[in-house]
Amino acid sequence: MRASKTAPAREGRNGERELHISGAEGIYPASEIPFVVTRYTERALTHPKGTTDKIVLTAELIREKPHMILALPVSTVSCRAPDEGKTIVQEILSVLGITKKALHTGFGVIQKGGMRGAAIISAGRGFRLDPDKQRGVRVSRLGITAPASRMLSARLSDCGINTDIVREAVILASKVVSHKGVIAELCVSDDPDYTTGYVASDTFGYIRIPHIKVNKSTVGGRVFFVHEGLDITGLISYLETTPVMVGRVSPCAGTHSVYEVLNSSHR
């Protein structure tokens, strides 16, 4: 599903532009499609980013057998303000070998906001590698099996964070970092009232960072940091079209300091 609204062109340009409001995707049994369509439509119509004037829903049969993956373990770091959040992001990413330059490019993309997909950035030189800079790359064809979904809900509930937003983000991040070329993902929601972001990596799992942005801010986005010299076409094809489902779930920890989280590397 994708929902947008029409806005006047930027100064000095002609015509109108489509502002991204909300998007969602999943892999479901055909019998669930009517319910999913209702849920996604309601989400688009009640989105905190504003009133949508266009909702596009697409349903496609997946013929390929989905590739099964393990969900990342979830933890939360204590963080009280955006400045502290930025420092925490820097610490995690530098341990993962992502340069300051790459991080600078990444923060730039998120600060600008307004994208429907994610940016791909090389972890060393900090170059933006995805071809459509306005749209980015939209991760799709991802889902979770029914038993894994029940387990994920139970584990997230134990930590008091069992919401659609967290569940969908954990599934997405697990697909993204399951590709060997991706070192880490940085995410900040573009919803004005959602201020928790995350850094996901195969090494440290899904690390939630509360107060990564100020309330009421509509900037946000996603950035995938990748190994230098990676085959970008192959990565985009994996993210956009390879069906991937979470079949098993990892533990969920409570809130800890960033050092505790970094010292408990799970793999």
Residues lying near Mg ion in the complex (CB under 5 A) are found at: 190-191
Which residue, 122 or 189, is less far from ligand WAQ as judged by CB? 189
Q: Distance between CA 8 and CA 171 in Å, rounded? A: 35
Is residue 75 a contact point for ligand WAQ (CB under 6 A)? no
Q: Distance between CA 56 and CA 87 in Å, rounded? A: 38
Q: Distance between CA 158 and CA 234 in Å, rounded? A: 38
Per-residue tokens: 210: 């509360």
Is residue 139 a contact point for ligand WAQ (CB under 6 A)? yes
Strand partners, 71: none
Nearest of 188, 199, 172 to residue 222 by alpha carbon = 188
Shortest Å, Cβ 4 to ligand WAQ: 12
Nearest of 235, 226, 178, 171 to residue 198 by alpha carbon = 171
Is residue 221 a contact point for ligand WAQ (CB under 6 A)? yes
Which of the listed partners (ligand WAQ, Mg ion, none) does 185 bind, with a CB threshold of 5 to 8 Å by partner kind?
none
Shortest Å, Cβ 46 to Mg ion: 13
Is residue 166 a contact point for ligand WAQ (CB under 6 A)? yes
- Identify the H or E element spanning 34: helix 33-45
Which of the listed partners (ligand WAQ, Mg ion, none) does 172 bind, with a CB threshold of 5 to 8 Å by partner kind?
ligand WAQ
Cβ pair 33, 21 in contact under 8 A: no
Is residue 115 a contact point for ligand WAQ (CB under 6 A)? yes
- The site string for ligand WAQ over 53-72 (x = CB under 6 A, - otherwise) reads --------------------
Of the listed pieces 26-34, 58-66, 216-224, 252-260, which binds ligand WAQ according to CB under 6 A? 216-224
Q: Distance between CA 150 and CA 156 in Å, rounded? A: 10
Strand partners, 8: 16
Of the listed pieces 60-68, 79-87, 145-153, 183-191, which binds ligand WAQ according to CB under 6 A? 183-191
Is residue 189 a contact point for ligand WAQ (CB under 6 A)? yes
Shortest Å, Cβ 140 to ligand WAQ: 6
Is residue 144 a contact point for ligand WAQ (CB under 6 A)? no
Which residue, 122 or 217, is less far from Mg ion as judged by CB? 217
The residues, any chain, with a CB within 8 Å of residue 45's CB and separated by 6 or more, are 3, 52, 55
The residues, any chain, with a CB within 8 Å of residue 206's CB and separated by 6 or more, are 72, 73, 74, 75, 169, 170, 173, 174, 198, 200
What number of CA atoms fall less than 13 Å from residue 249's CA on the CB side? 21
Q: Write out the residues near ligand WAQ by the rule CB under 6 A.
A: 23, 25, 115-118, 136, 138-139, 165-166, 169, 172, 187, 189-191, 194, 196-198, 208, 220-222
